[in-house]
Amino acid sequence: MAERIYVFDTTLRDGEQSPGISLGVREKLEVAEQLQRLGVDVIEAGFPATSDGDFEAVRQISAKISGSVVCALARARKDDIDRAWEAVKDAAKPRIHTFVSTSDIHLEHQLRKTREQVLEMARAAVARARDYCEDVEFSPMDATRSDPEYLYAVLETAINEGAGVLNIPDTVGYAIPEEFGMLIKDIIANVRGADGVIISVHCHNDLGLAVANSLSALETGARQVECAINGLGERAGNASLEEIVMTLKVRQSLLDMETAINSKEISRTSRLVSLLTGYSVQPNKAIVGRNAFAHESGIHQDGVLKERATYEIMDAASVGLIESDIVLGKHSGRHALKEQLDRLGYDLNEDELNAAFTRFKELADKKGSLSGKDLEAIALENLRTEVREWKLKAYEVHSGGSEAPPSATITLERDGEKITERSIGDGMVDACCKAIREALLLDAKLFAFTVEAITGGLDALGDVTIQLDIGGRRWVGRGVSTDIVEASARAYLNAVNKYLRQQAASGASK
């Protein structure tokens, strides 16, 4: 019988630490609900001590999710652990995940503590978490660069205080597969009590080895794997959930392991995370990239037409990559839109549905009919009604010519307040974005700008992603429209709103 592997998803915690990502509570709830539909065993919902917004997101996710374990991260500090418990205490299946560094380089330069002091921090943290919660996970940060004997001692201490999961992180993506697999094997052999807990792994992708390291660890005894949708995470990201899950599924006869993941939800989950975070999936990304099941070579095409197994090791339908038959037109009503959004898995509240329907009508008038992917984009544009945001009320652009530069006039609205601003730029998109910046008196610098089509055809919705540098931090925004100028303005405003939302949450006035 295949060994059961537990999938721990950290998209909402480590994934959100990617530069520019700033999800609101409503957006995080949408991701958490989709992760539950996907079948992940553990959702690491956030790091409650870092901000009131993160605390509230974890609290609301805990109240809503019943199938998956809801986990909150906490440093090995009393106040962090108390805050984590306050956030997850109403969860059907709560977990506290506490951590402290164990490598000498971290102890000397970051913590500035002795090994004995850190050992005591680990002991006290697990003990306090265990007083609150039966399900406690402990991580020795930078484990792969830690002295093995000291690492064993810290892990034994965590077990003695009641930790049921020991997570071994390759925090800086330093390990190679054989080395990391051997580390897990040695921990199981040398740490007293390790046979009575779950060994977990959390691998970063700095050398492009996160998935390979995770699989090596599973082969040598780890039974929980920590990963993120689309491989999101700090720096080069985390191990990709979809790659690990499908490797275990496609090669089950060899690896003899299985997960509880409903792989048909993988593609939808990937799209949801991509659209909400503004992080596009690269075309050649394994499993979920748009080229993952495309065949350009004539030899490959011939083989696939005769027998798919010649060049495809998995069925596109197994990860949910099937064409949707959802098509709504300009004569479709509000009920039809709600029905199709429900079918796609988007449960919008009344205000969100009203906003989505208004936007749907605007786009349907321009495009004629909208596909399922178009409807997803509209739904995800309207998951932010819990916060006060500036909306693009109107815009007018002129391309200019030999006698005049391109110009744009925009009108923004928030809670009945309107601002109109005109600006000139190098092009219509530049002029429109400058007008927004000047209207809101922001010092924002454009860091990156990308445009993609959501579906095929000349009337496809344009999907624009913009990264702005505001206040020394990167903010990602996304907008969709049949008009690239409008999509760009929406993306720019989306990034600005995220910045303003964070400023409001931290008590700053803007």
Do residue 256 and residue 195 come from a single domain?
Answer: yes
Domain presence at residue 49: yes
Q: Are 155 and 166 in contact (CB under 8 A)?
A: yes
Q: pLDDT tens digit string along 84-116?
A: 999 999 999 999 999 999 999 999 999 999 999
State whether 372 and 474 are in the same domain. no
User: For the domain that residue 489 is a member of, what is the CATH number?
Assistant: 3.30.160.270
290 assigned to some structural domain: no
Residues 432, 469, single domain; the answer is: yes
For residue 447, what are the contacts with CB-CB under 8 A and spacing of at least 6?
A: 467, 468, 469, 474
Same domain, 118 and 224: yes
Tell me, yes or no, whether 339 lies in a domain. Answer: yes
**H-type alpha helices, 368-427:** 372-381
In this structure, the answer to whether residues 93 and 127 fall within a common structural domain is yes
Flag the least confident range among 20-34, 369-383, 461-475.
369-383
The boundaries of the domain holding residue 308 are 296-321
Q: How far is CA 274 from CA 53, 417, 435, 463, 489, in A?
A: 21, 32, 27, 11, 19
Same domain? 402 vs 355: no
* Domain assignment present for 360: yes
* 299: pLDDT strictly greater than 50: no
Number of domains present in the structure of the chain: 4
- Are residues 233 and 342 both part of a single domain? no
| Same domain, residue pair 306 and 445 | no
CB proximity list for 161: less than 8 A, separation 6 or greater: 123, 126, 127, 130
| Helix, coil or strand: residue 389 | coil
In a shared domain, residues 375 and 404: no
Same domain, 52 and 189: yes
Predicted local distance difference test score (pLDDT) of residue 342: 86
Instruction: For residue 489, name the pLDDT band (cuts at 50, 70, 90).
Output: very high
- pLDDT tens for 124-156 read 999 999 999 999 999 999 999 999 999 999 999
End-to-end C-alpha distance for the chain, whole angstroms: 59
Query: Distance of CA 206 to CAs 81, 140, 173, 488, Å?
Result: 29, 19, 5, 32
Lowest mean pLDDT among 84-93, 142-151, 176-185, 394-403: 394-403
What are the distances in angstroms from CA 449 to CA 15, 171, 236, 289, 502? 21, 30, 20, 20, 22
* One domain, residues 263 and 344: no
Structure tokens at 223: 């039974």
Residue 146's SS3 state is: coil
Residue 294: band (very low, low, confident or very high) from pLDDT cuts 50, 70, 90? low
Residue 322 CA to residue 499 CA, distance in Å, equals 36
- Average pLDDT for 426-441: 94
Q: Given 3-state DSSP classes, what are the helix, strand and coil percentages for the chain, each rounded to the nearest 5?
A: 45, 20, 30
